[in-house]
Structure 1
């Protein structure tokens, strides 16, 4: 079926974005927008696209979940041996993207990533639902498997073997924190004349500037 995508468009008219709105601290402003997205029942407002780059220069992107903002850094958890884990080990420069369509807003973040401490990872792992803990233990993320039954068989065996006992955190699982060097706030506007405010981190602090849409 041939879908005519040229006719798919939406007029963005809900909000505006001014320098006065944003202030001078992009972390505080991110938290303000995030709180508003939660209040307006945005679907998984902490879902963000993480982009990494391979040794061959090939970018790849996937959705992960923001779990914390700690000391101005954006924290998420995943498998260290996954494709993204290997790419981040080679090149710590990453990008994050949030898109909240109900609010007609996008946030782009560029920065460098590092692993959080094992203690921090363990504190979060212990809070996860048991089924998620078992799933992390069962999966060697990004590796080829023969079929779905293979994974379900491993999970069933773990459920049996660990019945009544805590699930140990996998050695190759844990958190990362992204230290931002650039944060851009995008507010959709009528006629595609969108508002874009960019914050660049300098030695003196954050520099704010408006970009043309």
Structure 2
């Protein structure tokens, strides 16, 4: 049977306490547009420029991105994580491989990343395939994490059901006793990185009258090195 949305409330009085109207919430963008001729030759060059500008603008956590995955049946899920590195090979983040996103990427490595830089009227959307990073690369990054974050990676069986907050705090306290500050914490075997190798990268710039600029790089395989085609999308 087709999905049917639930009936709306019988009376608007059910929402009498509401003091906002989402339909009336809008920003009028006035940003300068994006000129194709000024774009970097690869999406990584262009992302570097925009990322530096996002950092320079004082944007809170400009490396925060929404990671969207889907399981083998196509059921989607999304969450915000922090990008920890990027280069010509792709965009890297770290997680517990037993988490929901880790399990879904094992079933279906197709993934989408979204950098929501709303304060500067920009966003970047990456679509591609996720590959696990090597253990050496994972360990090198793990060593740079704060001591507490290293313990947290052990204490939390990410995405699994936990009975109480006290259970989680107790697990952390036991680990803190076992590995006091200054003592090396081993890398959890089920914790590591994913590198998202992009197949397409879209750069979105808000413009006046909702006529936004959308420029997309699409990977184009060739006889030698792969290249990139740039196309403009209607807003």
Give every structure 1 segment of 4 or more consecutive aligned residues whose post-TM-superposition deviation is greater than 4 Å: none
Matched, 1:191 2:209: yes
TM-score normalised by length of structure 2? 0.88
- Residue in structure 1 matched with residue 114 of structure 2 by the alignment: 97
**Shift in Å at residue 165 of structure 1?**
2.0
- Residue in structure 2 matched with residue 22 of structure 1 by the alignment: 39
- Residue in structure 1 matched with residue 189 of structure 2 by the alignment: 171
**Shift in Å at residue 60 of structure 1?**
0.5
**Structure 2: gaps spanning 5 or more residues:** 1-16
| Alignment size in residue pairs | 213
- Residue in structure 2 matched with residue 152 of structure 1 by the alignment: 169
- Residue in structure 2 matched with residue 126 of structure 1 by the alignment: 143
- Give the whole-Å Cα distance in 2 for the aligned partners of 1:97 and 1:115: 19
Larger mean Cα displacement after TM superposition, 149-158 or 68-77: 68-77
Larger mean Cα displacement after TM superposition, 165-174 or 123-132: 165-174
- The structure with more radius of gyration: 2
Native 8 Å contact 1:27 1:72 kept in 2: no
Q: How does 1:1-213 map to 2 (within 5 A)?
A: 1-2=17-18, 3-163=20-180, 164-204=182-222, 205-213=227-235
**Shift in Å at residue 71 of structure 1?**
3.2
**Shift in Å at residue 6 of structure 1?**
1.0
The alignment partner of 1:155 has SS state of: helix
- Give the whole-Å Cα distance in 1 for the aligned partners of 2:40 and 2:167: 52
TM-score normalised by length of structure 1? 0.97
**Structure 1: gaps spanning 5 or more residues:** none
Native 8 Å contact 2:131 2:194 kept in 1: yes
Native 8 Å contact 2:44 2:88 kept in 1: no
